[in-house]
Structure 1
Amino acid sequence: MPMKRTISGMIGAGSLAHNRRDFIAENVDPNRVHLNICYQNENLKEVYKELFDDSVERYNVGKRKDRQITNYYEKIRQGKQEKLFHEVIFQIGNCEDMAVGTPEGELAVKVLDEYVKDFEKRNPTLHVFSCYLHQDEATPHLHIDFVPYVTGWKGKGMDTRVSLKQALKSLGFQGGNKHDTELNQWINHEKEVLAEIARQHGIELEQKGTHEEHLDVYNFKKKERKKEVQALEQEKEYLTVENEGLIAQIAEARADIKHLEADKEQAVKEKEVAMKRAKKAEEDLHSLEERREKLQPVMDNVSKEIKEYGTVKTLLPEAGALERAATYRDKKIKPLFTQMKNKIAAMAAQVKELTKEVEKWKHKYQETKQAYNRVQRELDTVREEKQQLSEKKQQLQDVSDRYDRVVRVLGENIVEDVVQQDIQEQKALEEKRQMEQMPKGSIHERLAWGARKSEMENQQRKKNKTKNRGMER
């Protein structure tokens, strides 16, 4: 008899660092990390260059500089229309019936592995740049991160661009109401593909809410409770995945804080080293200055004696009574002057060398001082960044606390209804604003807009007229 299991497919948080296991979150078993399977791990910025650089170049031809796109990755990252990438998570069963390390869990891994290998073949407009099968959490599951894009676009903008809606439309998913979007249709289709592969391995999709024959009151209530339990289990699975994403984001933030603390410690150490080097350079410079000061009087005296003829004269040896002038010059005067010349040259060379050494140490001292100042500035920057992160973390925590308080007071259903109502109101206001604004296209588009607006105004007048008649009665 085939086993029955649920199949989950949902939107993920898109924490790439968590998927790569750059850090270990609380719900991850470190001893099982090596069992994870990496199918794809590309640099997202490089993927954007590969997919869109040619299109950007074509788009910029003939455009003014202020309208050219310099970095498409940053344009999407800072924009609000599209996300840089999307993530979907697929899972079979739950931690109770398909847990990791069990035969059922191994079967789930086998099915998911077979499913993911044809993913890009089925979805050519979804470029997968990161894909992992995790076996170090409670239940085996897939994280698939992709960039949705469309080529040959004839509308406004680049001919190859990021677009989830158009990418899924090109795959045949047209979308309907707000609960039947292209994304929902596509995820349901992928779940069917996964269910078919699971059936080939003896796993039947567990259907919920199927029609059954009339039951007595007790069995009916029992069956209804069972349905509620199944619905709660499904909700639990969704919340578990969502919780994993939140845990990953929290762990990522903590990892960033740890990195900042490590950078701070390193900066403090570098500061201490720089201060020691600066102190050593200052001491060496002071020592050289002292040596120079000691030698300077000697050199001054030598220079003075050379300049003063009388001093040189006293150094000259006396000539003999019968000694010839040539002999006196060659035997006594020349050797004496040669000796004096050599000594003076040697002392001058020493002074010159000492001067160079002093200048070199002065230069080293200045470099060390500049390095110290640079390290000090970097340390100040790290402190500012840490303070900003702390403030941002506190703000996020405050928002989270307020949201939890609102949910606790009003109830999750009421909060969700209010959020959806606000979304619909904003959407209606935006549609109304767009309708009231005359398009800048051709005269035919303007005439069509005028006709639609006139029709809407006539309908509104009829409604008001009917309402007034009702009030008069």
Structure 2
Amino acid sequence: MSHNNRENVHGNPGIDLTRLHENIYFVQKDIRSVYKDVFQEAVDKYNEKQKWNDRKIQDYYDKIRKDTKTHEQRELVVAIGEGKDDPKYREAKKEALQEYAKAFQGRNPNLAVYNMVLHDDEANPHLHINYVPNFESSRGLTRRVGMDRALQQQGIKGKGMELIANWRQLETAYIESLAKEHIPEFERANVGSHKYMKVRQYKEYAEVKSTVEKQIHEKEVQVEMFNDRIKHGGRKVEELQIVKQQMERDVVDTYKELKTVKRQVKKEEETLELINQRYIELEKKVQQKQGEYGRTMDHLPNEEVCIPFLHKEVVTEVQDKLFGKADITKKQTKNYVLSPQQYQEVTKQVNAAVIIKKDYKRLRQTDFVQENESLREHAKHYRSQNNELKQEKSQLQKKVGTLNAEISLLQAHIRDLQANIKVFVSTNEKSL
């Protein structure tokens, strides 16, 4: 571009420095600004629809420039005749080229011109037109870079080289009409370019044309095969990238599930710990009551006993008489006479029986045994549930490990594909 804009004229002996002022600069824009004007609205709309940041387009110009399948810009050189033509036609050629330049953008709305200059400081006046071909798309990015679709949407028929040839034919016909307006005696030579030659000049190039066309066709076939292989490799890389992204999302989801299971395991373990503590407390209470019961039982005989006594109680009855002595009668009652030691022993046994009766009534109301059994069942249930959660946790950890291993393999495969594509591109570029 520095050559076209004459920013650096050194090293080009074909430039006549005394005619630099004769050059005409129609358009001089930075290509990035043109990309922004043409594509930024479509890029913004595209990015708004993307959920993943890695799918968003940060800089569309950089993206296309790095794309080996797409040219970020194209250049068209337009000239009439050759430098050895009669100098009297120079000004007429220049006027025809100026008309062509001014009408180019209007005739080609899908070819956004960012640099257009007419060089009149070399042997023959000629135009340099640099443009960005673009077209509307109904899927994804609504405006994209692409020569074929750009021309097709302008109404040009055909595809591939036929499409380009048809477009060149239209442009050639237009520049021919302008050339004839300014230089009636000039005739177009059928050389498939935008140049115009005298009939005598055509004979010199006819033989060369056939050879060059064959070489061009061979190179075009090679380029087409090369592009097909590049596209196939690119699609494969894109498919693997999609699989990799899905697996990465699966890993994230599995990690979340694993985190939830870990929380459940922790909660169940805390509940189980509380049950165990309550179980231990009840065991202690039961043991304590068993000790008290044992001590009470120590005061009771193991078999039925007959309580010893001194003798039965005797009551003396005196019955007075009118005459003689009174009658004295002794009778035994149902009461028993105990010694102090015997009384104490009986008292201990009675007190022990009273204590046992009270504890029995209280135990019937509290029912430690029933609560203890219930706690055992709860503990058994929570242990079972805890084991199931631990098994699920182990399975999830294995799944995460497997997914990470598969992602690593995919990444290695993608790197290999990208390396192979680069080698293939480099090899074919050298051969071409």
Interval of TM-score (by shorter of Structure 1 and Structure 2):
0.3 to 0.5
Structure having the higher Rg: 2
Q: Which has the higher contact order (CA 8 A, sep 6+)?
A: 1
- TM-score (ref. length: structure 2): 0.47
- TM-score (ref. length: structure 1): 0.43
Name the one with the larger helix percent: 1
